[in-house]
A = this chain, B = another copy of it.
């Protein structure tokens, strides 16, 4: 292992998806890959209610789609998505599946340590769910500590970043342009639009909805359901259209590719 990560050449044109999905590669191919690139992308989602018309898989579907697009444009490998995230506050709604914070922390810790063992030094987690942010960052701190305690080669070069596609500046700007105040904070038209682009069958259940309860602080599941009886936080998801979703995908991928480029360089 060299003392600094090899430079990464972003491909001139996007690669086919097969080329960058870790799941579709073999271990010798990964060994070869590590000779010229030490970066990898990990999509992180959640499986939780998204209002009366939003898909329960919204956060995982969108995180994975953005991650794959970033992978195609950058040439970085993309691991499978971790579709279960920290969604304790949504457990009052049927279908939500949540990992406790300590559990998600352990998952991300183990994923990072597994990858670091092979020589990966830049772990770029593309996240689709606000509830994962705190736990994700705590997990990174724990992973750095373990890597150092184990004396892992490259421990001092290991770096993780949590990139939320939905808070990238150009994404926020596009949402503001399209929806203004009606974007809201959960089951937002921007994320719903992206799912309509990815899964056209979802259009069938979209419909106008009454005004949503306003966004506010998030506490436990019962409190959440009392404040937000249909699961939305100040959002009008029926403004979403599939073509918006295509724009969000492109905008998010562009923004994150730039962020990734910077991350690999530091």
Q: How far is the CA of A23 from the CA of B34 in the complex (A)?
A: 33
Whether A26 lies near B47 (C-beta < 8 A) is: no
Residue A107 is within 8 A (CB to CB) of chain B in the complex = yes
Instruction: Verify A223–B24 contact, CB threshold 8 A.
Output: no
Interface residue stretch chosen among A128-136, A175-183, A245-253: A128-136
Cβ A80 vs Cβ B57 within 8 A: yes
Instruction: Tally A residues with Cβ within 8 Å of B.
Output: 99
What's the minimum C-beta distance from A236 to chain B, rounded to whole angstroms? 16
CA distance A101 to B110 in the complex (A): 10
Q: Is the CB of A86 within 8 A of B138?
A: yes
From A52, A54, A117, A157, name the one whose CB has the most chain B CB atoms within 10 angstroms.
A117
Q: 1/0 contact trace for A219-238 toward B, CB 8 Å?
A: 11111001000010000000
**A112-154 interface bits toward B, Cβ cutoff 8 Å, 1 = contact, 0 = none:** 0011011100000000000101111111111011011111000
Q: A147-B220, A155-B222 are in contact. Are A97 and B83 (CB under 8 A)?
A: no
- B86 near A141 (CB under 8 angstroms)? yes
Q: Are B114 and A145 in contact (CB under 8 A)?
A: no
B80 contacts A84, C-beta separation under 8 Å? yes
The verdict on A28 contacting chain B, using a C-beta distance below 8 Å, is yes
Other-chain residue from B21, B22, B26, B155 in contact with A51 (beta carbon distance below 8 A): B26
* A185 close to B (CB within 8 Å): no
Does A93 count as interface, using CB distance less than 8 angstroms?
A: yes
Interface residues of A in 202-244 (CB under 8 A from B): 202, 205, 216-217, 219-223, 226, 231
The answer to whether B99 and A103 touch across the interface, beta carbons within 8 angstroms, is: no
With A138-B138, A220-B156 known to touch, is A107 a contact of B97 (CB < 8 Å)?
no
> 10 closest Cβ contacts across the A-B interface?
A23-B57, A144-B220, A80-B83, A30-B95, A134-B137, A156-B222, A101-B138, A27-B49, A30-B94, A134-B134
Given the known A-B contacts A133-B134, A142-B101, are A95 and B56 also in contact in the complex, defined by CB atoms under 8 Å?
Answer: no
A161 to chain B, nearest CB (A): 7
- Nearest-neighbour CB distance to chain B for A247, whole angstroms, equals 22
A66 on interface, CB distance cutoff 8 Å: no
Q: Which of A21, A95, A109 has the most CB of B within 10 A?
A: A95
Q: Which of B26, B55, B110, B266 contacts A50 (CB 8 A)?
A: B26
